[in-house]
Chains A and B, each alone.
Chain A
Amino acid sequence: MIHMYLPIAGNSVNIFLILGLGGFVGLLSGVFGVGGGFLMTPLLMMFGIPPTVAAASDSNQIVGASTSGTLAHMRLGNVDIPMGVMLLIGGVAGGTVGVQVIKLLKAMGNADFLIAITYVIMLGGVGGYMFWESLQGLKKEKIAPVVTAKARPKVQEKKKSFLQRLPFQYNFPKSGCKISLLLPLGFGVLVGILAAIMGVGGGFIMVPVMVYLLRMPMHVVVGTSLFQILFTCINVTVMQSYSNHTVDFVLAVLLLLGSTIGAQIGTAVSKRLKADQLKIMLASLVLLVCVKMMAGLLMTPSIMVALKGGH
């Protein structure tokens, strides 16, 4: 087996293992529009990469994968750029607030507890709701597709009355909605805060927000999410490299080669799946990570200390 030495991580890795890992996460990224940080970082740590280097190199890799994914989705007309920009502005502002919140919590001494609880509640809540909702959707489709088609506009009409009261109404043709600019901006801030607290890109929170709160079509959600993630991760990569020297370029390139190809295949796969099928698969994945985290919290650890720097 061919190994390569990672100069920043200070360890060597099996080339094919990392390529495969990149491919798998890239596939998820292309299918669901998530960066995959919430999966990749713990997996890399399992292979002996320090947590800080794993997180920073992964964000470098996501830049490549989301470029590839965004491009593929743009060709399919799935990227709502104005919506993505608003979410991005909100996300950056929220991220800045989130970093300050973490500093405050650390000073108070209960940051880790809050991070872990936020993680489990968010994953469990988001995953559980998406799973239940898309299961209902699939059932209804089978039994009475006509009812579903009529029921949805009713829900949207109720929401409209509240949403139309907000200022700065803007037409988002790709997403097929006319809403206030404040809405994506506000949700962006919220996701940004959560993402900073949890130390992840936030794709798996942003996707449900766009689907359920902004009522965007699932395929546009995936493309727009990737567009937004691309810029978030460019920022994180440069900042991490500059202030912490934690970007391992060799690791990132290996992951990249796998993930960019994975992202292309993922996009092709996502095109063949129905929105509810996509949602239920993402929900299962999120729930799986949630169960794994819960198990980690409940089982007595075999080693009672950990190197500082993980999340």
Chain B
Amino acid sequence: MRIQKRKKNRFVYGLGICVLLILTWTGVSRAAEEPIQLKLAGSTIKISTFYNGTTLDVTGSVHKDADVVLLVSGPKKDVHLKVKGKVAGILWMNKTDVSLENIPAVYMVYTPAGTGDNLLRPELGIGYKALTGGIAIRPESTDKEFVFAEYVKLMEQSGVYAVHRDAIKYGETSNDQTNFTATLIIPSKMSAGSYRVEAVAIQNGKVLGRTGKELSLELAGLPKTIADLAFGSPLLFGIMAVFIAIATGLIIGVLFKGGGGSH
């Protein structure tokens, strides 16, 4: 009886190990077959008192015959703009009201070295032109492409819209997968919120696969305390701001009198 039981146990263990090995092997091969993988150095960026934008390292791997493009985009919102126009034939001024609806607050594209603008194609869902489809304009009669192109120029000034060419570096290739690295630039104008970093694999002009990771920017320390107070108790915040201003004015005034410099 005992010998039979031992044999049975051995058989069960053996079967278990076999199943485990098969599962591990398929897992490994699946990973090798994945067209693209992405890893962020961190998923949260803290915005504290002396924050002035930062950088974020990104690593991953892509099928050896494919290229990779990184996209950083973030919360969609409605923006209200003034379009400049000529008044009385000579004066340029903010003339008409226009709203762009459902437009991302942040849109940054990173392309690999040597690809130029080849990968910035709307049919791949990459580049500024790819965004226009999802955006609505009010009033509808306005020239959407023109307003959008000008808005992009405005956003490029603060770095929240950007195309970083030659910004992805390829490394070694193993198991048909090529490693890549990039350093994402997080401008200080990119406000607290949830963003998505997406890696897109492209082969022969087609999207082979895509994967993404969440990136969150959070206020911390003094900026958080101030923002909470300003939005949570705005009246108290306003009165406090006035009192501190008056106190500073008085202190500096008294200090100058103490110094006896002014009269």
Contact = CB atoms under 8 A, between A and B. Distances in A.
> A and B, one complex?
yes
B226 A8 contact: yes
Interface residues of B, number: 61
Interface stretch (B8-16, B33-41, B216-224): B216-224
Interface string A286-301: 0000000000111111
B136 interface: no
Contact of B237 (A65, A67, A247, A299): A247
Interface in B72-129: 79-84, 87, 90-95, 97-98
Nearest to A296: B92
B241 A60 contact: yes
A289 B245 CA distance: 27
Contact of A72 (B97, B248, B262): B262
B256 interface: yes
B50 A4 contact: yes
A112 B154 CA distance: 20
A275 interface: no
Contacts of A68: 248-250, 252-253, 256
A162 interface: no
A61 B97 CA distance: 31
A225 interface: no
Contacts of B87: 113
Given A247-B238, A304-B84, A256 B50 contact: no
A7 B227 contact: yes
A49 to B, nearest CB: 10
Contact of A298 (B52, B79, B82, B90): B90
Contacts of A122: none
Given A238-B238, A301-B92, A306-B94, A245 B223 contact: no
A113 B237 CA distance: 34
B19 interface: no
Interface string B243-263: 011101110110011000111
The interface size bin for chain A is 35 or more
A79 B67 CA distance: 72
A271 interface: yes
A66 B83 contact: no
B226 A10 contact: no
A227 to B, nearest CB: 12
A76 B256 CA distance: 14
B263 A271 contact: yes
B151 interface: yes
Interface of B: 47-53, 79-84, 87, 90-95, 97-98, 146-147, 150-151, 153-154, 157-158, 188-189, 191, 219, 222-224, 226-227, 230-231, 234-235, 237-239, 241-242, 244-246, 248-250, 252-253, 256-257, 261-263
Given A237-B245, A303-B157, 15 more contacts: A3-B52, A5-B47, A5-B52, A61-B245, A63-B242, A67-B248, A72-B253, A116-B91, A234-B242, A241-B234, A256-B245, A263-B252, A268-B261, A306-B154, A309-B80
9 contacts: A61-B245, A64-B244, A71-B253, A75-B263, A76-B263, A247-B237, A300-B92, A304-B84, A304-B146
